Amino acid sequence: MTSIPEALLWCLSAGTAAAVVLAALSIRARGQRAGLRTRLSAAEERNSATLHSNTELSARLRATEAEIRHLAGTRLPDLTLALAHPHVPVPGLKDARFAGTETDHALSAVLEQVSDAITKERSRVDAAAQSTLRGATTTIQALLYQLQTVLQEMQHRYDDPSVAQDLLNADFLNEQALRRIQATGVVCGAWPGLTREDSYLAELVVGATSRLRGYERVQVSNQLRDPVAVVARAVEPIAIVVTELLANALHHSHRELPVTITLQQGNRGASVIVDDYGVGMHDDEIKAAMELLSGDDSLLLTQLGDPPRSGFAAAGQLVRQYGFGVHVEPSPYGGVRAVVYIPGDPLLTVLDESTQPMSVMAPLPHRSGMPERSPSALPTGATTTPPPPAAASAAPAAPSAASHEAPAQPAEGELPRRRRRKPVSELDESAERTESIPPRSPEETGSRWAALQRGTESGRAAAQSEPPRSPEGNAQS
């Protein structure tokens, strides 16, 4: 009887222990399930973040690839075009999100390196081309000068009028070729290629006019008060510049319209003013012309257009080298006004007309204010049309061209003769000049221009020290 309760007790104990173990196992299983769910949730979050990050990286990679394609396909070609034509814009980034980032800095560095490489290579190629052209133009220019000498000798050798006319035409064609070769050489850095003596400014202008087609349309008015001359080293450069400005005026105006040249003398120098009545220039054209005429920037041959226009570029090179100035602006007559300003120091001098008379082909000056001249012997102003090209082309080279001869039409049965071209009043003026002009020493002649400048400066100083005047010119009471 006693064994049955013990057995029951033992069974109850075993059941309780089993229940406890089962409860513990259940609790542990629930905890494991909760931890597993937590780990699964964290893993899902990490997977979601990784997927989002991968998506962003893929989008950024695609945007970077698109930006690189934009650089290679658009920005670099436009950059190369903008280096030759500054008005062409270079686009920026395609995606604004890259602004200021490392990608932006890297792409900008690529653009700068390509720009520097292209600029250096263009300069190197252009310098080689200029060197080649400079050598070729120098050789051709020397040959054309020799041909010019031969033609002029033939003009004096043959008296047949028809032969003389043919030689004049050949000489004029040679002058056209020489002018273009000379301008091209100057653009490429060559020396003008001709040495002259001190020449009267009026003779220089007439000589420059004779180098052009349509020279008969040019009207020269000499308003100089003194026998102003250009020093030897600047004669040919200034003649080239005046020629190119006249060529522009003649080309852009109707063949029946005149082109006027006015020679003016200022306080510190002299000016050659060219006015045409042509189509004029727009503001951007005037701006581009002034950039070329200033001679400040280095010039590439590719910037001269196709076909190249070397006139203003050559003038700009000479302006930079010799120190005179050129200005272009709209003319009050509707065309273009070009002004060549020649400073008195150091490019001008005053010549003695008694020892070095002015050529009869040059326009007579307006000198009504000079006491040593008789008013009856001097005009109040002179306007002239240039002579034929063969005769006028020698004016700058020989300032004392009073002995120039021209072929005359022979009478029937007589041989042709050469006679000097004289105005009707030349003999009277020469006699009056001999009687009215006292002899001057070379020292006095050479210092007249400097004395004129000193007198002007002292007059300005005196005017500044005087009391203010009323509009009528009388002192205020």
226 located within any domain: yes
Point out the least confidently predicted range of 119-123, 357-361, 374-378, 438-442: 374-378
| pLDDT classification of 387: cutoffs 50, 70, 90 | very low
| pLDDT classification of 455: cutoffs 50, 70, 90 | low
Q: What is the pLDDT of residues 322-375, one digit of tens each?
A: 999 999 999 998 899 999 999 998 899 999 888 889 888 888 876 554 433 333
Residue with tokens 């270079």: 90
- Contact between 355 and 439 under an 8 Å Cβ cutoff? The reply is no
Q: What is the pLDDT of residues 169-223, one digit of tens each?
A: 999 999 999 999 999 999 998 988 888 899 999 999 999 998 999 999 999 999 9
Q: What is the pLDDT of residue 345?
A: 87
Q: What is the pLDDT of residue 400?
A: 36
Parent domain of 229: 145-402
51 located within any domain: no
Q: What is the pLDDT of residue 295?
A: 81
246 located within any domain: yes
Count the domains in the chain. 1
Nearest-angstrom CA–CA distance, 456 and 223: 18
Residue type, 88: V
Nearest-angstrom CA–CA distance, 50 and 46: 6
10 located within any domain: no
- Contact between 253 and 325 under an 8 Å Cβ cutoff? The reply is no
Q: What is the pLDDT of residue 448?
A: 58
The residue ranking higher by pLDDT, 417 or 33, is: 33
Point out the least confidently predicted range of 65-69, 136-140, 296-300, 439-443: 439-443
Nearest-angstrom CA–CA distance, 112 and 106: 10
Q: Which residues, including other chains, have CB under 8 Å from residue 143's CB and lie 6 or more apart?
A: none
Q: What is the pLDDT of residue 12?
A: 65
37 located within any domain: no
Residue with tokens 């292209």: 118
248 located within any domain: yes
Q: What is the pLDDT of residue 196?
A: 85
Does the pLDDT value for residue 245 go beyond 50? yes
CATH value at residue 317: 3.30.565.10
- Joined tokens for residue 38: 């937590």
Nearest-angstrom CA–CA distance, 35 and 127: 80
| Eight-state DSSP code of residue 475 | B
207 located within any domain: yes
Does the pLDDT value for residue 116 go beyond 90? yes
Could you tell me what percent of the chain has a pLDDT over 90? 41
Nearest-angstrom CA–CA distance, 317 and 302: 16
Residue with tokens 């060197």: 131
Residue with tokens 């196709």: 306
**Mean pLDDT, residues 142-151:** 94
Nearest residue to 186 (alpha-carbon basis) of 279, 313, 337, 30: 313
3-state secondary structure labels for all residues of 363-374? CCCCCCCCCCCC
Asked if residue 410 has a cis previous peptide bond (ω within 30° of 0), the answer is no
Point out the least confidently predicted range of 94-103, 151-160, 385-394: 385-394
Q: Per-residue DSSP letters for 347-414?
A: HEEE--TTTSPPPTTSPPP--TT-TTS-GGGS-S--EE----HHHHTTTTT-TTGGG-EEE-PPPTTS
| pLDDT classification of 458: cutoffs 50, 70, 90 | low
- Joined tokens for residue 370: 């000079």
Does the pLDDT value for residue 264 go beyond 70? yes
Q: What is the pLDDT of residues 96-113, one digit of tens each?
A: 888 888 888 999 999 999
CA-based torsion, 301, 304, 306, 309: positive or negative: negative
**Predicted model pTM:** 0.65
- Joined tokens for residue 334: 């509707």
Residue with tokens 């000049």: 433
470 located within any domain: no
